[in-house]
Structure 1
Amino acid sequence: MPSPTQRVLSRVPLRFRPFLVRYRRPVKFLLVGGTCFLLTMGLNYGLRQTVFAGKPVVALTVATVVATVVSYVLNRQWSFRAYGRQREAALYLLVSGLAVLVNDAPLVVSRYLLELREPHVTASVEETADFVSGMIVGTFLAMLFRYWAMKRWVFTRRADLLPADRPRSGAGR
């Protein structure tokens, strides 16, 4: 029975399949990231309208932390199948903590250094600046940092790469 990935890949036009297979790890990482971006955006908006009204940095931080947990599970199980879960989890938390800071930095700059907040600007300019700096620029920078750091330090050994002297199950069929 084909895996879910194989079923999806069978629906992709033939000319795109080699690209997706060759760059499967970054493609999977981007799909997980896109899902978590939508989750972060929804949580951020909901928190800013309710619990953390007037505290956009706190709302973005909480939303990012929740999405980071989801991202870990999805990346661990799908994008980066690796060994060493205890060490890996600690490194993931460290990298993700740094990534939250990277994600928040453009919003902090926008709000508190550039003063793109009320009463210095209109409410619509404030909302636009918050969205662009926190959700777009911050998420993009954090995504680049996370991918580089996860590949470099966290998910360094892959379960699907076995030593050459150890045959894969089903080899020779």
Structure 2
Amino acid sequence: MARRPGGVTPAISASGNSAGDDACESAGPESRLSLLLARHGGITEAWIREALTTSGVTLRHAIVLMHLDGGRLGQRDLGARLGVDPSVLVALLNALEERDLVRRHRDPADRRRHIVEITEAGAAAVTKLDAAIGRVEDELFADLSPQERGTLHSLLARLRTTHGSACTEARDPDC
């Protein structure tokens, strides 16, 4: 295959097929894993947000509910799992509590500690959220085998996506 001026070969396509033996030298955006991941991440997020609109729950609220579906948690532990600043967590919990999807109460063993638990309405919402997200995943990953999905999950779980600090901006949609 002919090289482009400057010695750069055509980029790897979004499907992952290389355009030549020297494709790793390409400067095309499709050859950059981070850009490819960002593009697919943005599309996936939009699909999930659209799927969640019928539930009336935001993506961030859905993630909180899904964490609590496994059992009650201390508020500080929940914030650590989510990687959010305590003030951001309070705003999320206030909104969920107003809709009777979660409940907070003081830990009888340690009055300084708040326990957060999902309500029956919250558990019902998680069932709907899980089904909506499942439909998105079925469409998104339709061309992947179960083994490939497992490999992708394993690889994505290993990515370093934080800069070592908790999210501090309540208005930051990427937080």
**Larger Rg belongs to:** 2
- TM-score, normalised via structure 1 length: 0.30
Q: Which structure dedicates a bigger proportion of its chain to helix?
A: 1
